[in-house]
Structure 1
Amino acid sequence: MLPKQETPGRFVIQDIKTGTYLRHDGTDLDHPYDDVDAVDEATVWRTLEHVSYVLWWYVDMYRSYRIINLDTAEHFVKDKNRGIPHIMAELLQPQGGGKGE
């Protein structure tokens, strides 16, 4: 069996709508996270695979979240077309400068 490849880094989960981050509250609830305002208060995961698993299974499925790699500033979201626990790079919308603005 081949060893599982993991993508190391420092990863946090952010609520897309509010901009808050998730911090584990120490419980085993279905959504065991509190919202915090700063990255330095948030739970940091050490691999992309681990934080992806958390995003799929333990984070409120009715809200939109992104994973942020604090080392590279890459953003990831759930890849709903591929299913659990896949993620994909988030396609960020350009800010301003469009026609009609």
Structure 2
Amino acid sequence: MLEEVRIKMWAAGWRPTRKEIEDILLAVESTMMANEREIKLPKKYAVQNKETKSFLKHNGSYNPCAYPYDDVESIEEATHWSDFRHVSYVARWYADSFCKWQIVDVDTREVLEPMKIGLGGK
């Protein structure tokens, strides 16, 4: 990689010393490592039936007259949402209203209650 950087710099008209290139690469590497530590993966949530412990999976139906979810046994098979407000809306308004639902963080398995969201999303 050192020679690759040197060739590109020479092509751009800059004649750095080997030490300058090494310093630049070291700075780039430490910046990349710092950024990797700061990167946070988005949360993932699933909707779970409180009684049966099954999860919701979107079945691909967008027909407003059809129920758009199937029950699945594992959280891995379930539909995952990255926005807590959205998953709360799903649990409150789209899931079967005769069941009680909870939200589960897919990574930590923490159980959360859905936000109280009105029909307008507020």
TM-score by length of 1: 0.64
Q: Between Structure 1 and Structure 2, which shows a larger proportion of strand residues?
A: 1
Give the whole-Å Cα distance in 1 for the aligned partners of 2:67 and 2:112.
20
Matching of residue 45 in structure 1 with residue 81 in structure 2: yes
Alignment match, 1:88: none
Alignment match, 2:49: 15
Q: Between Structure 1 and Structure 2, which shows a larger proportion of helix residues?
A: 2
Of structures 1 and 2, the larger Rg is shown by 2
Following TM superposition, the consecutive aligned residue runs of length 4 or more in structure 1 with deviations greater than 6 angstroms are none
Give the whole-Å Cα distance in 1 for the aligned partners of 2:85 and 2:114.
12
Alignment match, 2:20: none
Gaps in structure 1 of 5+ consecutive residues:
1-7, 86-101
**AA of the residue aligned to 2:112:** F
Alignment match, 2:7: none
**AA of the residue aligned to 2:56:** L
**Contact conserved, 2:88 with 2:117, CA < 8 A, in 1?**
no
Distance change in 2, residues 1:27/1:65 (3 Å): same
Q: Which of structures 1 and 2 has the larger relative contact order (alpha carbons within 8 angstroms, sep 6+)?
A: 1
Give the whole-Å Cα distance in 2 for the aligned partners of 1:45 and 1:25.
15
TM-score by length of 2: 0.54
Matching of residue 66 in structure 1 with residue 106 in structure 2: no
> Alpha-carbon deviations, 1:20-49, whole Å to 9, x = none?
111001112453100001111100001111
Q: 1:25 aligns with which of 59, 63, 77?
A: 59
Secondary structure in 2 matching 1:22: strand
Give the whole-Å Cα distance in 2 for the aligned partners of 1:26 and 1:52.
19
Give the whole-Å Cα distance in 2 for the aligned partners of 1:64 and 1:49.
17
Gaps in structure 2 of 5+ consecutive residues:
1-41
Query: What fraction of aligned residue pairs are identical, expressed as a percent?
Result: 36
